[in-house]
């Protein structure tokens, strides 16, 4: 930054400070939060329910976390399916988009429908992916989603039916764009071999991701079903999570779904939201570098204190992967993923790493409770990066796996908002500056 801009910026920040106490003075819901930390109600949804506390006589009582997709408990859904016979993500997509569990014929037809949309537009691969490599896959995907707008003959049709049609296309095409953009990136920037494996229309989305990313296209059934489970667990999280809300805020203006997706992807990239999976991986790498896999609890506690005291990692004072805006005692997705992660760690001979994560989780939760007096829990992204690493996925792709899962939620909320709200979202901000006289240039 130039000295001049630095000077005017410093001057402006000292002149335009906003005192924190003004939030309570004017009863402004900072971060759209009530005083007890619960979210301000800003919408109605029938897509999913995120439960982390209950209210009794106006008092918030922390509870074990529960997540429901269209009224069905996600843990029941996972327990109820036969992992030998089918992948779940496509079924969850159907449930989230249409609001009921499909019968076998409906599920088969839906899978065929998705597969028929896998193909990218003519020359897209050459022109947009191979011809335009980028370092950051989240930003690349934002651009590509906006580019798909230009390939759509009627991109500004925002009717619910057209949104569903375009949304299905996005759900089907994003995995391929992500995998090809990643293979191009590592070829171009990291001198790795370039290969582009075509999608297999017989495969589920999880299987396709693995076969497109691996040079020999092979994967085990267990690997594909773990990735499938990750997509299922990320598929939706109510109307209040930042990226879904961003998508709905944008959709409420009547803009196109490609713009809404680009906004939602940008939101999801942040390390306090979906980017937490990458932030956790970097944090735990540093922790392991510092204290090793055989660290004692005392050593781990010290690192945790140093993170909270802004002396270690990115000096934000945040322990990534811990805490949640809704969940208090537990994030049900994290509990499921932690078990999967342990299973995979046993198979991949990486149990020590899993166990270190697990001890770190327990000690971090206890330290935050001791300091702040609040119940926090590990969130879904505490273990997801470790799972992806064990599946051989690069860090470049961690948050992209979140996008692939969450795309279905974004489409469903976008449509629900169009069908049942339609009102432009426009909250208010209280002006807290003083009013000033205009001063002529010669008198300043």
Ligand X SMILES: CC(=O)SCCNC(=O)CCNC(=O)[C@H](O)C(C)(C)COP(=O)(O)OP(=O)(O)OC[C@H]1O[C@@H](n2cnc3c(N)ncnc32)[C@H](O)[C@@H]1OP(=O)(O)O
Ligand Y SMILES: O=C([O-])CC(=O)C(=O)O
Point out the catalytic residue in the list 169, 228, 381, 389: 381
Q: Pick the closest to residue 410 from 194, 293, 251, 229 (CA basis).
A: 251
Residue from 372, 392, 422, 430 touching ligand X (CB under 6 A): that is 372
Interactions with ligand Y, residue window 32-51 (CB under 6 A): 50
The number of residues that bind ligand X (CB under 6 A) is: 22
92 binds ligand Y (CB under 6 A): no
- At residue 272, φ and ψ (nearest 5 deg) are -85, -10
Contact call for residue 273 and ligand X (CB under 6 A) = yes
239 interacts with ligand X by CB under 6 A: no
- CA 310: distance to chain centroid? 25
Cβ nearer to ligand X, comparing 173 with 273: 273
The separation between the first and the last C-alpha atoms of the chain, rounded to the nearest angstrom, is 25
Nearer to ligand Y, 128 or 237 (CB): 237
Stretch in the footprint of ligand X (CB under 6 A) among 46-54, 98-106, 144-152, 367-375: 367-375
Please give the Cα distance from 417 to 398 (Å, whole number).
29
Cβ nearer to ligand Y, comparing 379 with 414: 379
Tell me how far, at minimum, the Cβ of 177 lies from ligand X, in Å: 22
Does 363 engage in binding with ligand Y (CB under 6 A)? no
What residue 287 binds from ligand X, ligand Y, none (CB within 5 to 8 A, per partner kind)? Answer: none
**Pairing, β 48-56 against β 72-73:** unpaired
3-state secondary structure of 142: helix
Reply yes or no on whether 381 is catalytic. yes
Decide if residue 241 touches ligand Y (CB under 6 A). Answer: yes
330 near 317, Cβ under 8 Å?
A: no
| Residue 81 annotated in active site | no
Kindly give the pairing relationship between strand 59-69 and strand 48-56. Answer: antiparallel
Q: Cα(412)–Cα(419) distance, rounded to whole angstroms?
A: 11
Binding mask 293-312 for ligand X (x = CB under 6 A): ---------------x----
Say whether residue 233 binds ligand X (CB under 6 A). Answer: no
Question: 361: which residues sit within 8 A by CB, 6+ positions away?
Answer: 321, 322, 378, 382
How near is the Cβ of 238 to ligand Y at its closest, in Å?
A: 6
- Which tokens hold the place of 30? 């900072």
Minimum CB separation of residue 327 from ligand Y in Å reads 8
Element counts in the chain: helices (H) and strands (E): 18, 3
| Angle subtended by helix axes 332-347 and 381-390, to nearest 10 | 30
413 near ligand X, judged by CB under 6 A? no
**200 vs 119: CA distance, rounded Å:** 10
3-state SS, residue 435: coil
Say if residues 250 and 145 touch (Cβ distance below 8 Å).
Answer: no
Q: How far is the CB of 271 from ligand Y (least distance, A)?
A: 12
325 counts as binding ligand Y under rule CB under 6 A: yes
Token pair in block for residue 360? 């770190």
Please say which residue, 93 or 120, places its beta carbon nearer to ligand Y.
93
Which residue numbers are catalytic? 324, 381
Residues near ligand Y (CB under 6 A): 50, 237, 241, 325-326, 379-380
Residues near ligand X (CB under 6 A): 37, 272-274, 276, 308, 317-325, 368, 372, 374, 376, 379-381
């Amino acid at each position: 930054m130039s000295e001049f801009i630095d000077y005017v910026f410093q001057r402006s920040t000292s002149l335009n400070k906003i005192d924190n106490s003004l939030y309570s003075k004017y009863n402004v819901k900072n971060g759209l939060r009530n005083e007890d930390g619960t979210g301000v109600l800003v919408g109605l949804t029938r897509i999913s329910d995120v439960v982390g506390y209950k209210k009794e006589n106006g008092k918030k009582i922390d509870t074990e976390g529960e997540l429901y997709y269209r009224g069905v408990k996600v843990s029941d859904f996972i327990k109820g399916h036969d992992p030998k016979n089918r992948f779940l993500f496509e079924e969850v997509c159907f449930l989230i988009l249409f609001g009921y569990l499909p019968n076998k014929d409906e599920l088969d037809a839906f899978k065929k429908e998705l597969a028929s949309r896998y193909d990218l537009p003519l020359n897209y691969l050459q022109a947009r992916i191979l011809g335009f490599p980028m370092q950051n896959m989240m930003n690349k995907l934002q651009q590509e989603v906006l580019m798909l707008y230009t390939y759509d003959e009627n991109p500004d049709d925002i009717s619910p039916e057209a949104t569903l049609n375009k949304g299905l296309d996005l759900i089907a095409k994003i995995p391929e764009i992500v995998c090809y953009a990643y293979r191009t990136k590592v070829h171009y920037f990291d001198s790795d071999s370039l290969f582009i494996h075509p999608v297999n229309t017989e495969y589920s989305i999880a299987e396709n991701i693995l076969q497109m990313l691996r040079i020999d296209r092979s994967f085990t059934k267990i690997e594909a079903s773990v990735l499938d489970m990750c997509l299922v667990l990320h598929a939706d999280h109510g109307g209040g999570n930042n990226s879904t809300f961003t998508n709905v805020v944008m959709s409420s203006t009547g803009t196109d779904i490609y713009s809404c997706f680009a906004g939602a992807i940008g939101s999801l990239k942040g390390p306090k939201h979906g980017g937490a999976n990458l932030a956790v991986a970097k944090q735990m790498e540093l922790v392991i570098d510092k204290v090793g896999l055989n660290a004692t609890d005392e050593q781990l506690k010290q690192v945790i204190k140093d993170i909270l005291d802004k002396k270690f990692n990115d000096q934000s004072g945040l322990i990534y992967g811990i805490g949640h805006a809704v969940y208090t005692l537990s994030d049900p997705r994290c509990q499921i993923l932690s078990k999967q992660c342990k299973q995979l760690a046993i198979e991949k001979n990486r149990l020590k790493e899993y166990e270190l994560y697990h001890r770190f989780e327990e000690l971090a939760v206890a330290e935050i409770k001791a300091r702040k007096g609040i119940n926090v829990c590990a969130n879904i992204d505490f273990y997801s990066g470790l799972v992806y690493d064990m599946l051989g996925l690069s860090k470049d792709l961690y948050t992209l796996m979140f996008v692939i899962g969450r795309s279905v939620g974004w489409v469903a909320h976008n449509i629900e908002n169009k069908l049942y709200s339609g009102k432009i979202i426009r909250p208010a901000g209280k002006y807290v500056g003083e009013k000033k006289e205009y001063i002529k240039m010669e008198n300043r």
